[in-house]
């Protein structure tokens, strides 16, 4: 049976918007910021609005005569008709309700878009060439774009933006005050003002320095110190299993040696500490995924679902070079470029900070020197996409021996200061503590 239902629309609201423009042509520029030609359903209204936008672009006067001439030049006058155009000119007696008319037109346009997208999703489901994962990811992306379109705000004036900038600038730059995500580390908060939404943060180190442990520390601190302890943190562990990661978290929170937890050689006091730590960790909104063959699109799809449910404030990916390419294309550098760009776009789409771990080149070990941006593996694309690049390395003491101290170097900070500070790494608890910190470079 053929579906004869007509798409949702409100012709009177469309005519009221066009009538308001004829009543006061000066409002057209404002209307043009809020409505596109496709937001109109009635074909005659589409043609009239398109002609009006053409006149606006050419900075010509708007009245019955000029719009008639423009419609004629577009070969649309016969379809619109003189009588209909005359009706529009006299349709709206006042501008008082123009914003309401615009909202009605936008709402019906969004309904039609949702119906169209649903139809596309339905039809694509019968395509044998697409697998289920790609199908669901594409469907979620289309719907999420519509959600963002509905929530999109109007243009902001510089006065409104300046108020927000001044409000943040007035916050005392101490180590307890942040404008972004509280990292739990005072010096890091000071240098970055907290991890900001839409930022891609790269944490890079050589193997066995402790970058996975530091990422775990940041994840726990972010969950504890933001949104009154209800911040949502997604942790993608491509190198360790979920059980290994949570075992380290339990050691971190309970201060019970991780080796004892793994071996099960625990005293009654240890169990008391572990039970208390379990309660704390259970209260946090931490989400884990240890899929070894994950792709950026998989990460984005899972994070998008959490974001839509209001349960995502921070994402950690351990680590970038282990993410699978969607399609192997050319060199490894090109593939990593696609991955880092995908993570940056995810941070912008979901409006959250994303922390991705990365490897450093072997030359840092061979030459025993402080890392630089060029030491990032496949460095060009990662350095370009990242808003913040942090290095961690083990400085040697006077005798040339390694210590438990780890130096953190902010080598790039697009919106803040660079600098360095020291942390003490207690490996048996996978826990980092601040030390007396050095001045900014």
The domain tally of the chain equals 2
* Assigned domain for 372 exists: yes
pLDDT the model gives residue 437: 47
Residue 3, domain member (yes or no): no
Single residue among 78, 96, 113 that ends a domain in this structure: 113
Tell whether the model's pLDDT for residue 377 goes beyond 80. Answer: no
Per-residue model confidence as pLDDT tens digits over 134-150 = 788 778 777 777 765 65
- Whether 421 and 311 share a structural domain: yes
354 lies in the same domain as 268: yes
Within a 13 Å sphere around the CA of 83, how many CA atoms are in the beta-carbon half? 0
- Token pair recorded at residue 42: 């009635």
pLDDT tens-digit map of 394-409: 876 666 566 678 888 8
Q: What is the CATH number of the domain that holds 73?
A: 1.10.860.10
For 58, the enclosing helix (H) or strand (E) is: none
Catalytic residue among 60, 175, 239, 383, which?
239
- Domain check: are 106 and 218 in the same one? no
Q: Are the beta carbons of 85 and 48 closer than 8 angstroms?
A: yes
How many of the other CB atoms lie within 10 Å of CB of 234? Answer: 24
Question: Which pair of structure tokens corresponds to residue 295?
Answer: 């792709």
441 within domain boundaries:
no
Interval 409-433 mean pLDDT:
87
Q: Is residue 357 located within the same domain as residue 234?
A: yes
Regarding whether 200 and 109 lie in a shared domain, the answer is no
Task: Tell me: do 224 and 359 sit in the same domain.
Answer: yes
Final residue belonging to a domain, choices 98, 113, 128: 113
The boundaries of the domain holding residue 41 are 11-113
Of 121, 107, 196, whose CA–CA distance to 149 is shortest?
107
pLDDT higher than threshold 80 for residue 302: yes
Q: Is the predicted pLDDT of residue 75 greater than 80, yes or no?
A: yes
Mean of pLDDT over the chain = 81
List the one residue out of 346, 345, 349, 291 whose CA is nearest residue 323: 291
Instruction: Record the tokens describing residue 208, joined without a space.
Output: 């066995």
Whether residues 82 and 221 share a domain: the answer is no
**pLDDT the model gives residue 439:** 40
Residue 352, exposed/middle/buried by CB under 10 A (0-12, 13-18, 19+)?
A: buried
Tokens 């006149």 sit on residue: 55
Tens-place pLDDT, residues 315-361: 999 877 778 766 655 666 777 777 888 888 889 888 899 998 988 77
Q: Are residues 253 and 349 in the same domain?
A: yes
pLDDT at 164: 65
At 315 the pLDDT is 92
Distance (Å, whole) CA 201 – CA 355: 5
- In this model, does residue 151 exceed pLDDT 60? no
Residue 213, domain CATH = 3.40.50.300
216 and 81 together in one domain: no
The residue out of 93, 113, 133 marking a domain boundary is 113
140 domain residue, yes or no: no
The pLDDT > 70 percentage for the chain reads 84
Q: What is the largest CA-CA distance in the chain?
A: 94
> Could you give the CA distance from residue 80 to residue 62 in angstroms, rounded to a whole number?
17
Q: Could you tell me how far CA 133 lies from the centroid of its own chain?
A: 21
Does 156 reside within a domain? no
Among 206-215, 366-375, 386-395, which stretch is predicted with the lowest mean pLDDT?
366-375
- My answer on whether 227 and 358 are in the same domain is yes
pLDDT at 160 over 70: no
100-125 pLDDT tens trace? 899 899 889 888 888 888 888 888 88
pLDDT of residue 119: 87
Q: CA-CA distance, 275 to 266, in Å (whole number)?
A: 12
The answer to whether residues 80 and 191 belong to one domain is no
Residue (of 235, 240, 221, 214) closest to 409 by Cα position: 214
Active site residue 239: yes
Answer yes or no: is pLDDT of 128 > 50: yes
- pLDDT at 147 (0 to 100): 66
Among 366, 368, 372, smallest CA distance to 391 is for 372
**Residue 403 forms part of a structural domain:** yes
Other beta carbons within 10 angstroms of residue 281's beta carbon come to: 18
Alpha helices in 255-331 (DSSP H): 258-263, 268-282, 296-308
Beta strands in 371-430 (DSSP E): 388-393, 405-413, 419-426
Please, which pLDDT band fits residue 297 given cuts at 50, 70 and 90? confident
Least confident of 18-27, 84-93, 183-192, 249-258: 84-93
402 and 331 share one domain: yes
Looking up tokens 């601040």, which residue turns up?
Answer: 434
φ and ψ of 60, to 5 deg: -100, 160
């Amino acid at each position: 049976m053929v579906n004869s239902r007509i798409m949702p629309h409100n012709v009177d609201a469309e005519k009221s918007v066009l009538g308001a423009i004829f009543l006061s042509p000066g409002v057209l520029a404002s209307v043009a910021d809020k409505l596109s030609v496709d937001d109109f359903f009635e074909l005659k209204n589409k043609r009239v609005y398109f002609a009006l936008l053409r006149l606006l672009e050419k900075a010509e006067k708007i009245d019955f005569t000029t719009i008639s001439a423009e419609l004629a030049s577009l070969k649309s006058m016969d379809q619109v008709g003189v009588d209909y155009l005359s009706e529009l000119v006299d349709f709206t007696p006042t501008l008082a309700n123009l914003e309401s008319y615009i909202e009605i037109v936008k709402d019906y346009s969004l309904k039609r878009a949702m119906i169209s997208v649903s139809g596309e999703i339905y039809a694509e489901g019968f395509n044998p060439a697409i697998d289920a994962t790609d199908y669901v990811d594409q469907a979620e992306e289309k719907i999420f774009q519509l959600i963002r379109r509905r929530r999109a705000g109007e243009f902001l004036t510089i006065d409104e933006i300046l108020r927000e900038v001044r409000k943040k600038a007035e916050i005392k730059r101490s180590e307890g005050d942040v404008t972004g995500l509280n990292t739990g580390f005072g010096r890091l908060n000071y240098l970055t003002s907290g991890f900001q939404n839409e930022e891609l943060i790269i944490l890079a180190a050589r193997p066995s320095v402790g970058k996975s442990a530091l990422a775990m520390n940041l994840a726990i601190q972010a969950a504890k110190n933001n949104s009154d302890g209800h911040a949502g943190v997604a942790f993608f562990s491509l190198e360790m299993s979920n059980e290994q990661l949570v075992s380290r978290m339990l050691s971190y929170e309970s201060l019970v040696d991780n080796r004892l937890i793994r071996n099960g050689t625990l005293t009654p006091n240890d169990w008391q500490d572990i039970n208390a730590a379990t309660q704390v960790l259970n209260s946090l909104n931490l989400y884990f995924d240890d899929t070894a063959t994950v792709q950026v699109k998989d990460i984005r799809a899972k994070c998008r679902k959490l974001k839509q449910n209001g349960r995502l404030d921070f994402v950690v990916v351990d680590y970038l070079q282990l993410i699978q390419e969607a399609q192997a294309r050319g060199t490894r550098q090109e593939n990593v470029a696609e991955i880092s760009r995908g993570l940056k776009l995810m941070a912008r789409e979901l409006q959250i900070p994303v922390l991705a771990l990365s490897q450093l080149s072997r030359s840092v070990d061979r030459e025993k020197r402080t890392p630089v941006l060029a030491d990032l593996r496949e460095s060009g694309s990662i350095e370009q996409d990242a808003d913040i690049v942090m290095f961690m390395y083990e400085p040697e003491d006077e005798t040339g021996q390694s210590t438990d101290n780890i130096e953190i170097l902010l080598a790039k900070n697009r919106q803040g200061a660079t600098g360095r500070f020291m942390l003490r790494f207690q490996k048996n608890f996978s826990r980092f503590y601040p030390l007396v910190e050095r001045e900014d470079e």
